[in-house]
Structures are given as structure tokens and as C-alpha cells.
Amino acid sequence: MSCLGERLTALVDGELGHEERDRALAHLALCERCRSEADALRSLKGRLRGLGGLPASDGADDLPTPDFMARLRGMGAPGGPAAGPDDPPPPARPARSRVPAGPVPVRPAGAAPRPAASRPRDNRPAGRAARPGGRGAGATAVLYRPSRRYLAVGAATLVLGLGAASYAAGGQREIPTVTPAFDRFAVEHALTSGDVPMTEPVDDRTSVPPAPGP
């Protein structure tokens, strides 16, 4: 966790005042952890920008609907197009239009930091997901991607391991040998199929006179 807290995101977004910005930069020069986190945030911001600038393909069918794209872009900004049910609907954007990256939401300076990996991915609209002063849903979605991979790999390993263990444990142990009760089975078969319930074995084959025809 950064020593600067929410000021780090404000720094990346260019929202700090001149004096506070200088102090933050001076801290970054000394603190490698905050510096790397600032780099990560800048990288994330760049990727969000790139998302808005993706060129449309030749086929219009390859793109999601404009409404979906607008909601996706808005996830990175509080109060975006999908901010809430009471907000006005977002204006339709042309498929090729570039979307300026929205400001990454910031946490209040006094807010307690939250471990990013301890929460599930938040798919709610930004207006619902982002509490006042909370981190934007778009940012969390990207940050949690590695955790989801680990989860999937773990689940697959668990299933495969359990399956292999079950297969190995399911091998036949010493099983008793049985001899079918043929006489009893013959009676059972006759009773349920409507035949004569006799059990005498018949071994020989002989010729018989023809049976009457219709």
C-alpha cells in the first residue's frame, strides 16, 4: 500500500495543488514502492485511454452495441453513463470516436485503504459500485484479473486432483465372488415376463412336429 494513500491517485490524475504535488514527487523520489504504484496507476490510466480509442473493425457486427460500449467506458468514471437509474441516459457515441479517459476516482485522504485482492470483482454499474470517494469499478476490475486467474487455476487443479484421487480410490478392492442362482433367476424371469415358472434345465435338442399355423 502506498504511503501517499489517495494522494497518489490524485497525483496521477493531476488533481493535486502545486505545493502538494511537489511534496508527493519528492516522496516518490525516495520511496520505491510508491513510485512503482504510481507507475502502475499511470499504466492503468493509459490502458483505459486505449480502450476508448480502439478502432472499430470493418464489420459493424464485430462491435458490441453502442450502449454497451458507452457503459464500459463509463465504468472508469464516477457518475458516468451508468451511474445510476436516475441519471439521464448516456449520449450515443459513434463507434470510432475516441473517449477521453475519465478521471480515476480517488479515495479521501483519511479513508482506510482496502486490500485490492480481498474483494471479488465488482460488476455493478459504477454509480452503485463506487461508494463516495471509493475506487472506481473499472480500476478494480483490471486489478483483480490476476486473482481471477489464480482462482480458476486453483479450481481446475482442485477438480482434477479430486477426480484423479477418486479414480485411484475407486479401484476395486477385494470383492466377493458370487455364483448366480440360476434356478431362482429362471423363476423370477418367468414370473415377470409371463412364462411358465419352471426351473428344470433343458440340455438336449430334438426335432418337434410343426406347430399349427393361423
Partner 1 sequence: MLACGLAAALALGLAPAAESPARRRDAGDPEAERLLRASADAARRVRFEGLQSVTAWTGTAATTRRVRVEHAPGDGTYFTPEPAASGGAAVQAGSRSRSGTYEPDTLPVWSGGVGFTAETLRLLVRNYTLVRRPDGAVCGRTARVVEARRADGSAAGRFWLDAETGLMMRRELLDTGGRRVSATGFTEMRVHDAAAPGPAAAPAARVRAAVPWPDRLDGRDLAALRERGWPVPGALPGRLALYDARRPATGEPGEAVHLSYSDGLTGVSVFVQRGGLDESRMSGWRRTGSRGRTVYRRDALEHWAVWSRDGYVFTVLTDAPGGTADAVAAALPGREGALRARLARGFRRLLSWVDPTG
158 binds partner 1 (CB under 8 A): no
Choose between 32 and 204: whose C-beta lies nearer to partner 1: 204
Cβ-count burial of 121 within 10 angstroms (0-12 exposed, 13-18 middle, 19+ buried)? Answer: middle
* Residue 200 makes contact with partner 1 by CB under 8 A: yes
Helix (H) or strand (E) holding 169: helix 145-169
Contact range with partner 1 by CB under 8 A, out of 10-18, 72-80, 143-151, 190-198: 190-198
Assess 197 for contact with partner 1 (CB under 8 A): yes
b or e along 123-158 (b: 16 or more beta carbons within 10 Å of the residue's beta carbon)? eebbbebbeeebbbbbbbbbbbeeeeeeeeeeeeee
Smallest distance, partner 1 to C-beta of residue 169, A: 4
Does position 188 interact with partner 1 (CB under 8 A)? The reply is: yes
In angstroms, give the least distance from the CB of 135 to partner 1. Answer: 40
Residue 201 touches partner 1, criterion: CB under 8 A? yes
CB-based contact 35:28 (threshold 8 Å) = yes
The answer to whether residue 161 forms part of the interface with partner 1 (CB under 8 A) is: no
Q: Does 182 bind partner 1 (CB under 8 A)?
A: yes
Residue 91 or 214 having the CB closest to partner 1: 214
DSSP state, residue 200 = -
Residue 179 in contact with partner 1, rule: CB under 8 A: yes
- Using the minimum distance from each CB to partner 1, give the nearer residue, 116 or 164: 164
DSSP code of residue 92: P
**Residue 112 found at the interface with partner 1 (CB under 8 A):** no
Q: Which is nearer to partner 1, 55 or 212 (CB)?
A: 212
Q: Which three cell numbers stand for residue 77?
A: 468514471
Q: Are 141 and 121 in contact (CB under 8 A)?
A: yes
* HEC assignment per residue over 17-30: CHHHHHHHHHHHHH
Q: Is 186 in the site for partner 1 (CB under 8 A)?
A: yes
Provide the binding-site residues for partner 1, judged by CB under 8 A. Answer: 162-163, 165-172, 175-182, 185-209, 211-214
